[in-house]
Amino acid sequence: MSGIPERLAQVQADLDDLDVQLAAGELDAPTAHRLRTTYEAERAEILATDEIEGTDRPWGRVIAGVAIVVIGLVGAGIAVARSADERNPGDLITGGLPSVDLTTISNEEMEEVVAGFPEVATMRLALADRYFNDAQFSDALRHYLIVLDQEPANPRALANIGWMTYLSGESEIGERYVEQALAVDAGYSQAYFFLGAIRLYGLEDPAGAITPLEALLMFEDLPAEIRAQAEELLAEARAGA
């Protein structure tokens, strides 16, 4: 069987071909939607494999080394995309359903709410973030992909899918997702960290990692521990450039 990077690359190629065929009129919309759903399900299955947890790969140490930074960024609230209709965990969510304090309900209860109100992307995004922060990547990916169906330019979904793709070993595809997130929202701090780490460790491009890490350090509200980690990565990137 092909390795995870090769399998992910093939799925991405299939998705790219699908877009070309749809634009050229070679496929009708229902067929394209069915194929896209199939390809995205295949990608979710690949990302769900336990192999992405391995630490014997060249990028293994970054998984452990930056995990606390990712969680810290989310906890500090600076990872949240700054669009007006998004809210931090614990905020009240509306949009056709009763106000819900997310800190008071379980993942299972959130799944029920999302199933009952599938059009409320903010609730689904909050649930995906929970799974992402707990490294339950298959569950996270499933919800992030639905968010992107509803909001194709959602920066948080794009960035986090990019990070999971990188962890699976497909750094170039992961980089593209994160770059798309920053193209949508240049103020999304966590994406700069993702981009710097992907380029430094995944693509072995320390020179390319410098700019996003410098941009991350421009955020005045970075917690001290996260700033220290970013400075460490930046120093490593500069030394290797």
Q: Are residues 123 and 30 part of one domain?
A: no
Whether residues 67 and 106 fall in one domain:
yes
Q: How many domains does the chain have?
A: 2
- Cβ-count burial of 10 within 10 angstroms (0-12 exposed, 13-18 middle, 19+ buried)? middle
Percent over 70 (pLDDT), the chain: 71
* Per-residue confidence band for 49, with pLDDT thresholds at 50, 70 and 90: low
| Reported pTM | 0.65
User: What would the mean pLDDT of 20-48 be, rounded to a whole number?
Assistant: 79
Q: Is the distance from CB of 132 to CB of 161 less than 8 angstroms?
A: no
State the average pLDDT over residues 32-37.
81
148 shares its domain with 131: yes
| Contact predicate 163/175, CB 8 Å | no
pLDDT in tens, 118-149: 888 888 999 998 888 877 888 898 899 999 98
**CA 217 to centroid of chain Cα atoms:** 20
Residue 88 clears pLDDT 60, i.e. is over it: no
Are 117 and 97 in contact, with CB atoms under 8 Å apart?
yes
Same domain, 78 and 17: no
Residues 171 and 138 in one domain: yes
- Give residue 120's pLDDT: 84
Name which of 102, 83, 80, 81 is nearest 91 in CA terms.
102
Claim to verify: residue 147 and residue 123 sit in the same structural domain: yes
Can you give the pLDDT at residue 237?
Answer: 96
Range of the domain at 105: 55-240
Residue 175 and residue 208 in one domain: yes
Whether the predicted pLDDT of 158 surpasses 90: yes
* Nearest one of 179, 153, 154, 140 to 47, comparing CA atoms: 140
Assess whether 133 and 167 both reside in one domain.
yes
Same domain, yes or no, for 42 and 131?
Answer: no
CATH number for position 162:
1.25.40.10
- 1 and 88 fall within a common domain: no
Q: Most confidently modeled of 79-83, 95-99, 186-190?
A: 186-190
Amino acid identity, position 95: G
For residues 186 and 110, state if they share a domain: yes
List pLDDT tens digits, range 95-118: 444 455 667 778 898 898 889 888
Same domain (yes/no): 73, 22? no
Structure tokens at 35: 């194929």
